Structure 1
Amino acid sequence: MADDTSGEGLLSRAMRMLRAFSEDDERLTAAELAVRTGLPRSTAHRLAGEMMALGMLDRLPDGAYTIGTGLWEVGELAPVSVRLRERALPHMLRLYEASGENVHLAVLSSEDPAAAEALYVARVTGPHSIPTLSRMGGRHPLHTTGVGKALLAQRDDEWLDVFFQRTLERETVHSITDERQLREEIRFARSRGFSTTRQEMTLGNVSVAASLPRVWGLPPTAVGVVTHLARADERRLGALVSAAARDIAKDLAAP
């Protein structure tokens, strides 16, 4: 079904509506949806009603819309939820107990090197863990995160050649954006079996991560911990995340 004015398909317009929401803006009015999507206000209002009827959006008493519980219900059937996250969580809990630090599980968001990011699909934290920017369903750059660098270490040279055509943004003054230096970091991660970032995403934070061996039917995956610079024992944490990555992959491969 095409839009009367733009020729854009119905599914594309619906996805634009869903993408208008964010962690900071989890409720939006029809007028705000129209502004953020560029759709005519009448179109946004009509489409929001149709999406609400399908469970893709929920409506609050004040008339604003949120992401629908029906959409969440369907999303939980994705392999990264029902297969990867559920199998990984017991191992992530053990990693948290051993490290006392934030534990993250991330996948490559896309096989396209021009667009790929680290997509966070699970997280374990506790009262003594340091604050981080990551959240389930959130994305961060590959080159500034431990899990991201671990995912880069899985990629072949042809994939990396396209990736390095991108402009790599600095998240902090310590972010590595130089291709030669970042390639050396990737080679080092491959040789020792885990990757590290030091204050490259958040000042004061150190991340240590390891990639999982490839598992059929799942995207490239990495598990990592984030700790404070003052207590970062990279060798110890590297051994812990590497063991967790192997254990998760073994569990995923089991019947």
Structure 2
Amino acid sequence: MPSPPPSVSARLLSVLEAFSPGSTRLTLSEIARRTGLPLTTAHRLVGELTAWGGLERDSAGGYQIGLRLWEIGALAPRGLGLRETAMPFLEDLYEATHQNVQLAVLDGNDAVFLERLSGREAVHVVTRVGGRLPAYATGVGLVLLAHAPHEIQESAISLPLKRFTDRTIPSGAELRRVLADVRRQGFAISDGQIELIAVSVAAPVHDHDDAVVAAISVVVPSEDGDAYALLPAVRAAARGISRALGSPSARRLPGPVHRETFSAPG
């Protein structure tokens, strides 16, 4: 039995999904090609999205994502509101380190980055605001996965794990062990999983129900020495954000730091 044709809403969403970080401006023909829609259908849908404000047309006839989508996205409870609460603490953490300071939430099996503060001399990172990376390969992602519902953890553990470097977590069994360590320790140190030159030190952010709703991290050069020296500052910033969100546990003093980190076999 043939599959039913995609709905109008599915086709509209496919138009928006045609845009990506490397393709922020597209022509009508490119949108039609990327979506697989007939040119006439793409023209009609693009016109509707442009009239609504979801797309904007530039002077050369190309299309870009419109501000109307930013306005709606800002209403997400895990988006702008969380970022605004976290910003004073992220700025303090940046002033203390002058390295990459990041705020992320979990979306499926990915860490989505809501904010990143970065100095001119900070180590190179591949993250960007609004971007996503596999959670298992990042410090913030490991923290978020470690406190995610069981079914989300099992989904991540069951997937093939892409190796970015020879230090990336190589298997679901190893990921399961790492997540247990992160839960027990209360933080994550991810050393060279995405890029060998960088180490991420991450801690969880709790809400008024003490659920982990976000994670923050500092990413520093791997050659700079002991990442554990950053833990007090990262945990203090995470605790400050949690306290601002009403977390009961954030009012208690943190426990001692145990010196453990993930190290994948080469």
Specify if TM > 0.5. Answer: yes
Tell me how far 1:151 sits from its aligned partner.
0.8
Q: Check whether the contact 1:212–1:249 (CA below 8 A) recurs between aligned residues.
A: yes
Tell me how far 1:220 sits from its aligned partner.
2.6
Identify the residue that residue 180 of structure 1 maps to in structure 2: 173
Tell me how far 1:192 sits from its aligned partner.
2.2
Cα distance in structure 2, aligned partners of 1:193 and 1:105: 17
Unaligned runs of 5+ in 1: 111-115
Q: Relative to structure 1, is the Cα distance of residues 88 and 168 closer, same or farther in structure 2, using a 3 angstrom cutoff?
A: same
Q: Check whether the contact 2:19–2:26 (CA below 8 A) recurs between aligned residues.
A: yes
Tell me how far 1:156 sits from its aligned partner.
4.9
State the Cα deviation string for residues 213-232 of structure 1 (Å, max 9, x = none). Answer: 2456x983110011100114
Q: Residue 125 of structure 1 aligns to which amino acid in structure 2?
A: S
Q: Residue 147 of structure 1 aligns to which amino acid in structure 2?
A: V
198-207 vs 156-165, which deviates more?
Answer: 156-165
Q: Relative to structure 1, is the Cα distance of residues 232 and 92 closer, same or farther in structure 2, using a 3 angstrom cutoff?
A: farther
Tell me how far 1:198 sits from its aligned partner.
1.0
Identify the residue that residue 263 of structure 2 maps to in structure 1: none
Match of 1:79 among 77, 80, 83: 77
232-241 vs 84-93, which deviates more?
Answer: 232-241
CA RMSD of the aligned region, Å?
2.1
Match of 1:245 among 207, 219, 238: 238
Cα distance in structure 1, aligned partners of 2:101 and 2:112: 14
Cα distance in structure 1, aligned partners of 2:4 and 2:56: 26
Give the TM-score normalised by the residue count of structure 2.
0.86
Identify the residue that residue 142 of structure 1 maps to in structure 2: 135
| Corresponding residue pairs, total | 245
Q: Relative to structure 1, is the Cα distance of residues 232 and 36 closer, same or farther in structure 2, using a 3 angstrom cutoff?
A: farther
Cα distance in structure 1, aligned partners of 2:73 and 2:152: 29
Identify the residue that residue 25 of structure 1 maps to in structure 2: 23
Tell me how far 1:78 sits from its aligned partner.
1.9
Q: Check whether the contact 2:207–2:246 (CA below 8 A) recurs between aligned residues.
A: no
Give the TM-score normalised by the residue count of structure 1.
0.89
Q: Relative to structure 1, is the Cα distance of residues 240 and 152 closer, same or farther in structure 2, using a 3 angstrom cutoff?
A: same
Tell me how far 1:233 sits from its aligned partner.
2.5
Cα distance in structure 2, aligned partners of 1:188 and 1:239: 18
Cα distance in structure 1, aligned partners of 2:128 and 2:230: 21
Q: Check whether the contact 1:196–1:207 (CA below 8 A) recurs between aligned residues.
A: yes
